[in-house]
Amino acid sequence: MKVKPKRILELLEEKNLPVPKKHQLSSYLVSLRVKLYGNSSMSLGELEAWCEQKSVIPDDEDEPWVLRDKIIYGDEINDDVQDGDYENKFRLFVTTKRLLFNATISHVIHANATYKLIWEGFPCLIIGTTDMIKQFHPYGFAVCSNEAEKDFEFIFMSIRDGLQDLNMNMNE
């Protein structure tokens, strides 16, 4: 129905039906959503499985796929550990063949996080370029658990490696 809780309460009142408290209705709607669609959060293991499932390069130029991903479990020994930081981390970059083609005709890359577009509480990083008339052309988007130097390095290396995988040449 895509009706907000406030409107549901108004409709119940208009029809002279028992009106629950707003927090009761909100709790009910959350439990109903979980019952119908499952839990809305994803574990690191589920994310890793999803990335693997979506990592096959599709034939369709407009079908998205996970170009690269890196899942780091806190108890693993890896080069991403800094100052005793042993937290779980993840990085993934999603694109399409058509979007990635934009990188072959570009000289400048823009990468910026937006907190208006989030996934599981993490900001989406939009990567692309602008042309001479200031129009933005995306390459894809990344979601990283951090916004550190290693995360941006991952993004740029993903673009480079993705272009090599698709035998596309990038402007130097």
Q: pLDDT digits over 93-112, tens only?
A: 999 999 998 888 888 888 87
**Nearest-angstrom CA–CA distance, 146 and 152:** 10
Flag whether pLDDT at 165 surpasses 60: yes
Return the pLDDT at 121.
79
Flag whether pLDDT at 171 surpasses 60: no
- Strands 122-130 and 110-119: what pairing? antiparallel
Q: Express each pLDDT in 116-149 by its tens digit.
A: 777 777 888 889 988 888 888 899 999 998 888 8
DSSP letter assigned to residue 157: H
Return the pLDDT at 1.
54
Return the pLDDT at 6.
86
Return the pLDDT at 17.
92
Return the pLDDT at 68.
94
Return the pLDDT at 130.
87
**Nearest-angstrom CA–CA distance, 36 and 30:** 10
Return the pLDDT at 140.
92
User: Greater confidence, 101 or 83?
Assistant: 101
As given in the structure block, the two tokens for residue 74 are 């806190």
Residue among 93, 109, 100 nearest 155 (CA) = 93
Q: Express each pLDDT in 19-71 by its tens digit.
A: 999 888 888 888 888 888 777 777 888 899 999 999 999 999 999 999 999 99
Residue among 124, 152, 154, 151 nearest 140 (CA) = 124
Average pLDDT along the chain: 84
16 to 8, 13, 49, 67, 159: CA distances (angstroms): 12, 5, 49, 54, 59
1 to 7, 8, 29, 94: CA distances (angstroms): 11, 10, 12, 31
